[in-house]
Chain A
Amino acid sequence: GQQLNQSPQSMFIQEGEDVSMNCTSSSIFNTWLWYKQDPGEGPVLLIALYKAGELTSNGRLTAQFGTTRKDSFLNISASIPSDVGIYFCAGQLVGSGGSNYKLTFGKGTLLTVNP
């Protein structure tokens, strides 16, 4: 099935550094979601974006819904060791009928934070 282009694939950073990752798509979405997955756990929703151009923050996390509706980015400021995990973006086209509920996932960004 269709996949999003998520980059980078992995990142190794020092504690305290800022992090940025993004997703791009060849087709538009009207919802962008960012999830974090810890080893052995299910994905946890971090931020949901529902409107083109929307910029939303959740603590040290900030995400934006691109104005073309084909991209989104996630920033993490002042990283800490517990930020370690895999971050997935997911696009969704709600209200389209048929595949109304499907999430199209990126391949994930593996984040490692060195204390």
Chain B
Amino acid sequence: DAMVIQNPRYQVTQFGKPVTLSCSQTLNHNVMYWYQQKSSQAPKLLFHYYDKDFNNEADTPDNFQSRRPNTSFCFLDIRSPGLGDAAMYLCATSRGGLAGAFTDTQYFGPGTRLTVL
């Protein structure tokens, strides 16, 4: 009964070869997030979707793109991976801040470990 699913769990790509990571959720949440986490560091937000509205973080490199074709799925595309992009990529979801709501807890998937050769 996994709620946030990430595939694959491990991904190896070559320097400069485009790669796509996928995330799906069974929670019917409005918001989906992508984080990058490097060793011994906290997760760093790359961008998020509220429904179909895309919100990019100011310091996210252009090399990182995202697609959300429907409520359940969200993809992270790395157009030209560099060695510095090797990391754990985490997908998270939340219901979304409804009017007057004061809670919007995020739930994380198991992550995809990306290796760049």
Contact = CB atoms under 8 A, between A and B. Distances in A.
A74 to B, nearest CB: 15
B114 to A, nearest CB: 13
Contacts, number: 69
Interface string A44-82: 110010100000000000000000000000000000000
B70 interface: no
Taking each of A30, A101, A105, A108, which has the highest tally of chain B beta carbons within 10 Å of its own beta carbon? A101
A88 B48 CA distance: 20
Contacts of B103: 31, 48, 50, 94
Interface string A88-115: 1000101100001111011110000000
6 pairs of A and B residues whose beta carbons are closest in the complex: A105-B42, A42-B108, A42-B111, A43-B108, A42-B110, A94-B104
